[in-house]
Amino acid sequence: MAAKHKYSVLLPTYNERENLPIIVWLLVKYFSEGNIDYEIIIIDDGSPDGTLEVAKQLQKIYGEKRIVLRPREKKLGLGTAYIHGVKHATGDFVLIMDADMSHHPKFIPQFIEKQLEGDYDVVTGTRYAGDGGVHGWDFKRKLISRGANYIVQVLLRPGVSDSTGSFRLYRKEVLEKLVNSCRSKGYVFQIELIIQARHMGYSVGELPISFVDRVYGESKLGGHEIIEWMKGILYLFATT
Ligand SMILES: Nc1nc2c(ncn2[C@@H]2O[C@H](COP(=O)(O)OP(=O)(O)O[C@H]3O[C@H](CO)[C@@H](O)[C@H](O)[C@@H]3O)[C@@H](O)[C@H]2O)c(=O)[nH]1
């Protein structure tokens, strides 16, 4: 595959020093093999584990054209990390994914093909349709994810089978417009983006993906994030 567009990958990181070299290596591999132009934008939020130092080392290895560092001083939340990253993206398309290897770069050529086939504004990964799936989560975490998706389906009717996942490809100008119309800051951000995309009439395609739980490091989804998520969903229910 030799895509004619440039793709910007946004990688938000908080304490991902073990995962970052692996995901960056795989991203470089898949983009290079496909002869696809790309940049990887790392948005680190002052990780105490030294993720930024690892990112700087990767920039030395792969070059400043490919690895772009846009760090912030402290942890400001996942949603604002995406907003910050998209401001610096120079690609025609923006890929959003987790940096912990739960979203595997091997799916990127499929995202690109799907977008080109349907000329979609957004292609969103789904764990809950077709061959999609979740591997490695315990019962509690599966319940949280399924429950969250169910609540969103009932209250907000997002029109996609997996609204809480965050492995997505956006047309860059579409993402800029969506980001400007979103108010959420944390994990609810990706849900608001997909709801806004539907309200604004953008075309959304779904791609089944396998989500594999991280091996290194820990999830940042704690009680505080869940409470903020619930408040965010109720806010969206009341205002959209
Ligand atoms: N810069 C920055 N990055 C952050 C922050 N919080 C989390 N991250 C980064 O965001 C990614 C996802 O965070 P995790 O904490 O690993 O998410 P998860 O529990 O695996 O959650 C997954 O499932 C959720 C529910 O389906 C998804 O909403 C989420 O995006 C992700 O796919 C990781 O790369 C993590 O380092 C933050 O405040 N700032």
User: Which CATH number covers residue 179?
Assistant: 3.90.550.10
d(CA 50, CA 127): 31
C-alpha to C-alpha distances, 150 to 16, 38, 122, nearest whole angstrom: 30, 35, 21
Task: Collect contacts of 135-142 with beta carbons under 8 A, ≥24 apart.
Answer: 135/210, 135/211, 135/212, 135/213, 136/212, 136/213, 137/213, 141/213
Mean pLDDT, rounded, for 156-160: 90
> How does pLDDT run across 73-124, given as a tens digit for each residue?
999 988 889 999 999 999 999 999 999 999 999 999 999 999 999 999 999 9
- Distance in Å, CA 50 to ligand 1 centroid: 17
Interface predicted TM-score (ipTM) of this complex, two decimals: 0.93
How many domains does the structure of the chain reveal?
1
CA 186 to CA 171: how far, in whole Å?
22
Sign, CA dihedral 79-72-218-131, equals positive
- Check residue 1 and give its pLDDT: 65
Using a cut of 0.90, tell me whether the model's pTM lies above it: yes
Pocket test for ligand 1, best of 14, 146, 149 (most atoms within 8 A of CB): 14
Ligand 1 site-directed mutation target among 189, 221, 226, most atoms within 8 Å of CB: 221
Nearest CA to ligand 1 atom 30: 166
User: Which residues have C-beta atoms less than 6 Å from ligand 1?
Assistant: 12-14, 16, 43-45, 75, 77-78, 81, 98-100, 102, 145, 164-166, 187, 190, 219-221
- In ligand 1, which atom is closest to the CA atom of 190? 28
Supply the range of the domain harboring residue 117.
6-239
Task: Report the chain's C-alpha Rg in angstroms.
Answer: 17
- Dist. CA 2 → ligand 1 center (Å): 30
- 199-227: pLDDT as tens digits: 999 999 999 999 998 888 888 777 888 88
Q: How many angstroms separate the alpha carbon of residue 3 from the centre of ligand 1? A: 28
Q: Which residues contact 229 (CB under 8 A, 6 or more apart)?
A: 148, 186, 187, 188
Q: Which of 43, 177, 38 is nearest to 111 (CA)?
A: 38
Residue 1 lies in a domain: no
Residue 48 resides in a domain: yes
**Ligand 1 atom closest to residue 77's alpha carbon, by position in its atom list:** 38
